[in-house]
Amino acid sequence: GAVVSQHPSRVICKSGTSVKIECRSLDFQATTMFWYRQFPKQSLMLMATSNEGSKATYEQGVEKDKFLINHASLTLSTLTVTSAHPEDSSFYICSARVIAGNNEQFFGPGTRLTVL
Amino acid sequence: GQQVMQIPQYQHVQEGEDFTTYCNSSTTLSNIQWYKQRPGGHPVFLIQLVKSGEVKKQKRLTFQFGEAKKNSSLHITATQTTDVGTYFCAGGYNFNKFYFGSGTKLNVKP
């Protein structure tokens, strides 16, 4: 199946700093990528929908100035957590949807962010 | 916002017993997908249902989509230890974005 990578897999940062997470579709092109947040033992919460070449669509309650999303190419989307705070600590996971497919989402392995 | 409810939250079964998880949306869905997430892993796509009343089978797994396209179920017959994990439904809206249910964590005792 299609492979999606995320980098880094784990990151620890100080409060107030910014962290960038990359999501790449390795063997297919994805016009749409999704960013989710997953708290321990909980479900995936959709944060935003990222479309190549256009602005991301954010879900209600998600601050777009805090969670900057860029989808510069058909294989790369980035999520930047700006001025991170301890409450931003979470598991961030992206998914990519193939251009010609059945809407199946392929998930990356996730990034564990810890803000001290 | 859109909500997809899923029950039960946990299910512990003896190997060989059946298992069912249910999802319900407050609004009509365009489609619904099911995913399985193993401990420490990421969600893996199982299936997508699109048509009203659709039923699909994958070996011991049976997926149903309600007539009103607001609810769905996943049934596993004769569970095995390899079925352990959390099963999520993801309700689709306009075939564009998906909202995940809260998941059902399945534990199978050998």
Q: Does residue B83 belong to any structural domain of this protein?
A: yes
pLDDT surpassing 70 at residue B17: yes
Q: Does residue B99 belong to any structural domain of this protein?
A: yes
Residue B104 has a pLDDT of 96
Residue A72 has a pLDDT of 82
Residue type, A8: P
Q: Does residue B91 belong to any structural domain of this protein?
A: yes
Distance in Å, alpha carbon of A6 to nearest chain B alpha carbon: 11
CATH number, residue B28: 2.60.40.10
Residue A17 has a pLDDT of 97
- Give the pLDDT confidence of B46-104 residue by residue, as tens digits: 999 999 999 999 999 999 999 999 999 999 999 999 999 999 999 998 888 899 999 99
Smallest CA–CA distance from A49 into chain B, residue: B97
Largest CA distance in chain B: 42
Average pLDDT over residues B25-51: 93
In sequence order, what DSSP letters do the residues of A14-73 get, joined into one string? -TT--EEEEEEESSS--SEEEEEEE-TTS-EEEEEEEETTSPPEEPTT--TTTEEEEEEE
Q: Does residue B77 belong to any structural domain of this protein?
A: yes
A49 contacts B88? CB cut-off 8 A: no
Average pLDDT over residues A8-23: 97
Smallest CA–CA distance from B92 into chain A, residue: A103
Distance in Å, alpha carbon of A113 to nearest chain B alpha carbon: 15
Residue A104 has a pLDDT of 84
pLDDT surpassing 90 at residue A41: no
Q: How far, in Å, are A82, B1, B59, B97, B103 from residue B86 at the CA level? A: 31, 24, 18, 21, 6
Q: Does residue B2 belong to any structural domain of this protein?
A: no
Distance in Å, alpha carbon of A59 to nearest chain B alpha carbon: 9
Contact list in B for residue A46 (CB cut-off 8 A) is 97-100
Residue B95 has a pLDDT of 81
Q: Does residue B44 belong to any structural domain of this protein?
A: yes
Count how many pairs of residues, chain A against chain B, have C-beta atoms within 8 Å: 53
- The number of domains in chain B is 1
Distance in Å, alpha carbon of B18 to nearest chain A alpha carbon: 23
Residue A101 has a pLDDT of 66
Q: Are strands A44-51 and A57-58 parallel, antiparallel or unpaired?
A: antiparallel
Q: Does residue B4 belong to any structural domain of this protein?
A: no
A106 contacts B45? CB cut-off 8 A: yes
A60 contacts B45? CB cut-off 8 A: no
Place of tokens 């919460």: A45
Residue A98 has a pLDDT of 73
- Give the pLDDT confidence of A58-79 residue by residue, as tens digits: 999 999 999 999 988 889 999 9
Domain with B32, as residue range(s), is 10-109
Smallest CA–CA distance from B1 into chain A, residue: A60
For residue A88, the 8-state DSSP code is G
Buried b (16+ CB within 10 A) or exposed e, A39-60: eeeebbbbbbbbbbeeebbbbe
Q: Are strands A19-25 and A4-7 parallel, antiparallel or unpaired?
A: antiparallel
- Give the pLDDT confidence of A70-108 residue by residue, as tens digits: 988 889 999 999 999 999 999 999 999 876 667 788 999
Place of tokens 């619904």: B32
Residue A2 has a pLDDT of 83
In this structure, what are the phi and psi dihedrals at residue B16, rounded to the nearest 5 degrees? 100, -20
Q: Does residue B1 belong to any structural domain of this protein?
A: no
Task: Give the span between the Cα atoms of A7 and A30, in whole angstroms.
Answer: 17
Q: How confident is the model at residue A52 (pLDDT cuts 50, 70, 90)?
A: confident
